[in-house]
A and B are shown apart, each in its own frame.
Chain A
Amino acid sequence: MHRVLFWLLLTTCPVVGAAQSSQFGVRGLGYPGRSLSAHAIGSGGAFGLFDPESSLNPAALGNLTVLNAVFTGVQDYRHVENPAGTASLREPRFPQVGVGGPIKAIPLVLGLSFSNYTSRDFTLGAVDTLQLRGQPVETHDTLSSRGGLSDLRVAGAYRVHDRWTFGGAFHVLTGTNRLESRRSFSNSAFLATSQKSEISYAGIGASVGVMRQFGPTFGIAMIARSDGHVNLDRDSTRVSRVDLPYTVGFGLRARPLPKLDLGSQVVFRTWSGANSDLLAQGGAGADNTFEVAFGGEFTGDLKRPYRRVLRFGARYGKLPFLLDPGDQPSEFALSLGTGTRFAQQRAGIDLSVEHVWRRAGDSRERAFLVVIGVSLRP
């Protein structure tokens, strides 16, 4: 009965999938999500390809031994700088929801997750003075966007002899993007204007992954993913099609000390495939990205490994969508995290804090991301 209620709750609750926003997500499809749980973010994403609560590697689901559900929330505190000025922003989002569990009698694990693919949440404000009817009139422009692309993943993982785990997933990429342009005038004789538009996205993708465990202290993981393309409809009219990237990733984890796990991963995405599509629509283009992460997890009490856990990590990567041609944004982040399990390990909370620096040309951004993950094993 409890399981039925649990599944019902998960499938009927409104899902909001959006990661933290950025001024580097204003162009193109937006700021790309990382499909990571709070657990993985605490170590910089270094264990993302091994983390069953993340949606990066379908083979990682093989690490689930019981039914598990995870819900992740992010609070973003951001300071933005660009030639037009500075601003301090904040934003709460819920980028990762997932559930998965093993099938009885066979070494198969199935999972369903909903994660953020790209986020286009932003509001841009500008003040200008125009000459209207021979008089200077101050104008206040606001361009706002809400929404983005979400990734609904159905995945399965199959374990072979406890050393190999193979995984595959089918991805449905969908979402909407509500845009609004508003202009008001300092002279009330000129009426304020508001124009709206809605873009809807639709695409599909597939991914495969593998994990190989070389004894109890070393393992590797790999993924390959193709997302094909996404169709864009503006107000129900097909306006364009954007090629989505191929993704390949490689990760490794090692346990040099009984209490210390170290990991690293590299993920490469061919976003340059979208470049021509974006340029054709008047955009600034896109370029390939990579992300390198390194991190570790220190377990204070080996008898109770879910207590006194400290995670740490760092990552560096490129962002796909250019603000100015030829100047690809990049980001660097340091992260720290911890977590605990309670109620006979049926519930857990993971907390991670990430400090991110992003830049491209004269545009800079630094952000504190507070990530909370709640997991349940009913």
Chain B
Amino acid sequence: MNKLALGQRGRRVGGACLFLLVLAIGSCQERLTSPADCPALCPGGEQAVLDTSLLALPGLDSSFTGYVARGAGRALLVSNGLPASEDRAVYTFASRSDSISVRDTLRAYAIDSVQLSFSLVARDTLVSGLKVFVFRLPPTLDSTATFADVTTRFLPETLIDSILVPDSVHSGVIQTTLRGTDLDRVAIPLGTGGVLAVGLGITANSPTGIRLGSTGGSNGATFVTFATVDVPDTTTTIKHQSFSRSTSFNTFVTQSPLVPDPNLLTVGGEPSSRALVRFGLPPVIKDTATLVRATIELTPVTPIQGLPTDVAVVVARAVLADLGAKSPVSTLASDTVADTLLVPQVDTVRIDVTRVVQAWQGSSPRPSAIFLSLDPEAASFSRAVFYSTRAADPTLHPRLRVTYVRPFPFENP
């Protein structure tokens, strides 16, 4: 065979191989979706979506109180005429000594000025003319103080100062500085322990409330004293000093504390309450259904009030073990669902708990219970009280609305 013939054959073989390669590359695509003409082209039939409401197990829904004490939350409440509640805040600062050690010698000092700072966490941004009033309180006030104990001391002669909060300030530090004769209002007489306590109230152009920082939120109030130390011939930094005192105790008092009713489900309040609601999934859902959506529905006893534009959320958590009040809850984000409480919330509260209920299925299911709490706890004007299974009208009971599909009836050929 001559070289010419070999070359022609090689080119043919090469061409064929190239053709096959192009065809193979072009063929590596699959598009198989065609329109389903039912019932002819729906083997097995169509998938039905079912919807059902399950009432909570009678008598097995409860509220438990005492998780977060008043004043231990992430904020303190102060309000004036707010329908949700009437509150005043109390701060007690750490003790300030009446002398200071310089060069190993305790020396007296003269106070030049005092600065009181508070952290504004939230306010109703639609209310203008907010003014915060700071009153002097006796340092002996503690967590047992009542609303009356505090407000009876809110007198003109105990007023330290007022802070006008510009409407443009929605959060941040608000403070007042006292100098000269105004220092008498925060003077701490010798021999009284050096403790300053203040109470806060507010006014505004309309009823409103604010939330202030607390030790629980790591943003409590501060009390700073600027003083001149009685020490001769020394530098400015030693002679002029400032002493900062943080909050040693804080709380707020409320005019109408929420008292949990054992026949209702209370979520929130101070100390905070949480509700545990138990359900029984029927076997058809528990064993074979695929959940599409699950919503817990709670009917408020009265419209839920709060601070507009600063709403709280109801948090539904999956229970890892049903131990009643001390049931451990899942901390996984997928097992925690939060839903905003509108103000005022009149309608039924619906929280999507699909992921939580999914965990009730399977071979090792979790307890079919949901733990409800309010966020922020003991630091919100919102207080939710829902009907329980002890309500006479069953339509008011907590219920779980479940939308699910049954196993698809795959056709056996």
Which residues of chain B in 363-413 are interfacial with respect to chain A, using CB atoms and an 8 Å cutoff?
401, 403, 405, 407-413
Q: In the complex the two chains form, is B38's CB within 8 Å of A281's CB?
A: no
Contact indicator A133/B51 (Cβ below 8 Å): yes
Q: Which of A21, A132, A185, A197 contacts B32 (CB 8 A)?
A: A21
Residue of B nearest to A29 (CB): B413
CB under 8 Å from chain B, chain A span 69-87: 73, 75, 80, 82-87
> Are B411 and A281 in contact (CB-based, < 8 A)?
yes
CA–CA, A282 to B46, complex, Å? 13
Instruction: Say yes or no: is B12 at the interface (Cβ < 8 Å to chain A).
Output: yes
How far does the Cβ of A295 sit from chain B's closest Cβ, in whole Å?
23
Given that A91-B32, A193-B290, A343-B13 are known contacts, is A278 also in contact with B37, CB under 8 Å in the complex? no
Residue B30, interface by CB 8 Å: yes
Encoded as 1 (CB less than 8 Å from any B CB) or 0, chain A from 94 to 129 comes to 000000000000000000000000001111111000
- Rounded to whole Å, the gap between the CB of A234 and the closest CB of chain B is 7
Binary contact readout B311-335 vs A (1 if CB under 8 angstroms, 0 otherwise): 0000000000000000000000000
Inter-subunit contact B403/A141 (CB<8 Å)? no
Per-residue 0/1 for B135-175: is the Cβ within 8 Å of any A Cβ (1 yes, 0 no)?
00000000000000000000000000000000000000000
Complex Cα distance, B131 from A15, in Å, reads 81
- Chain A residues within 8 Å of B291, by CB: 191
B9 & A342 in contact (Cβ 8 Å cutoff): yes
CB distance from A133 to the nearest CB of B (A): 6
- On whether A84 and B354 interact (CB within 8 A), knowing A125-B36, A232-B412, A343-B13, the answer reads no
Establish whether residues A133 and B401, one from each chain, have CB atoms under 8 Å apart when the complex forms.
Answer: yes
A361: B residues at CB distance < 8 A: 40
Of the stretches B21-29, B115-123, B222-230, the one at the interface is B21-29
Q: A133-B51, A133-B401, A195-B290 are in contact. Are A142 and B33 (CB under 8 A)?
A: yes
The residue in chain B whose Cβ has the minimal distance to the Cβ of A360 is B40
Docked complex: B2-54 residues within 8 A CB-CB of A: 9, 12-13, 16, 20, 23-24, 26-38, 40-47, 49, 51
CB distance from A306 to the nearest CB of B (A): 12
Given A90-B31, A183-B405, A234-B410, A372–B23 Cβ distance below 8 Å?
Answer: yes
- Chain A 254-280, CB-CB to B under 8 Å as 1, else 0, gives 000000000000000000000000100
Q: With A183-B47, A189-B293 as given contacts, are A124 and B20 in contact (CB-CB < 8 Å)?
A: no
**Contacts A133-B51, A179-B410, A234-B412; is A189 near B33 (CB within 8 Å)?**
no
Once the chains bind, are B293 and A82 in contact (CB under 8 Å)? no
Supposing A125-B33, A189-B293, A283-B43 touch, asked if A132 and B51 sit within 8 A by C-beta, the answer is yes
User: Does B292 interact with chain A (Cβ within 8 Å)?
Assistant: yes
Residues from chain A with a CB closer than 8 A to the CB of B112 are none
Whether A92 touches B413, Cβ cut-off 8 Å, given contacts A84-B37, A86-B35, is: no
Question: Which of B32, B37, B45, B293 lies in contact with A191, CB distance below 8 A?
Answer: B293
- With CB as the reference atom, state the residue of chain B lying closest to A362: B37
Q: Is B352 an interface residue (CB 8 A)?
A: yes
B334 CB, nearest partner CB in chain A, Å = 12
Number of residue pairs A-B, CB distance < 8 angstroms: 165
Q: Which of B26, B41, B49 has most chain A Cβ within 10 Å?
A: B41
Once the chains bind, are B23 and A132 in contact (CB under 8 Å)? no
With an 8 A cutoff between CB atoms, is A88 at the interface?
yes
Report A126-172 residues with CB < 8 Å from chain B CB: 126, 130, 132-133, 139, 141-144
Which residues of chain B are within 8 angstroms of A374 by Cβ–Cβ distance? 20
Whole-angstrom distance between the alpha carbons of A82 and B293 in the complex?
33
Contact status A199-B34, CB under 8 Å: no
Which residues of B lie under 8 Å from residue A296 when comparing CB positions? Answer: none
Separation of A192 and B238 alpha carbons in the complex (Å): 70
Given A89-B32, A124-B33, A283-B43, CB of A28 within 8 Å of CB of B413: yes
Query: What residues of A have a CB within 8 angstroms of the CB of B408 in the complex?
Result: 181, 195, 197
Shortest CB-to-CB span from A243 to chain B, Å, is 12
A349 close to B41 (CB less than 8 A): no
A193 to B411, CA, bound (A): 18
A355 CB contacts on chain B under 8 angstroms: none
Contacts A143-B36, A234-B412; A195 near B403 (Cβ below 8 A) = no
> With A89-B34, A234-B410 in contact, do A23 and B41 touch (Cβ < 8 Å)?
yes
Asked if residues A121 and B32 are in contact (CB atoms below 8 Å), the reply is yes
A56 interfacial contact with B, CB 8 Å = no
A48 contacts chain B at the CB level, 8 A cutoff: no
- A374–B44 Cα gap in the complex (Å)? 39
Cβ-closest chain B residue relative to A137: B49
Q: How far is the CA of A268 from the CA of B33 in the complex (A)?
A: 31
Instruction: Decide: A123 and B33 in contact? CB cutoff 8 A.
Output: yes
* Whole-angstrom CA separation of A305 from B13 in the bound complex: 17
**Cross-interface CB contact of B42 among A73, A87, A124, cutoff 8 Å:** A124
Q: Smallest CB-CB separation from A30: which chain B residue?
A: B413
Q: Is A340 an interface residue, CB under 8 A from the partner?
A: yes
Q: Shortest CB–CB separation between residue A376 and chain B, in angstroms? A: 14
- Please determine whether B413 and A125 come into contact, CB atoms closer than 8 angstroms: no
Give 23 CB contacts A-B under 8 Å: A27-B413, A75-B23, A75-B26, A83-B37, A89-B31, A89-B34, A90-B31, A91-B30, A92-B27, A92-B29, A123-B34, A126-B38, A132-B49, A133-B293, A133-B401, A177-B413, A181-B44, A183-B405, A185-B292, A199-B412, A283-B411, A340-B12, A362-B37
Given A130-B49, A183-B49, 6 more contacts at CB 8 Å?
A82-B34, A132-B49, A132-B403, A191-B291, A199-B412, A343-B13
The chain A residues found within 8 Å of chain B, CB to CB, are 21, 23, 26-30, 73, 75, 80, 82-92, 120-126, 130, 132-133, 139, 141-144, 177, 179, 181, 183, 185, 189-191, 193, 195, 197, 199, 232, 234, 239-240, 242, 278, 281-284, 323-324, 340, 342-343, 349, 361-363, 370, 372, 374
Binding site for A on B (CB under 8 A): 9, 12-13, 16, 20, 23-24, 26-38, 40-47, 49, 51, 290-293, 352, 354, 401, 403, 405, 407-413
- In the A-B complex, the 10 residue pairs with the closest CB atoms: A85-B35, A124-B36, A84-B35, A84-B37, A126-B36, A181-B408, A82-B37, A323-B40, A281-B412, A75-B27
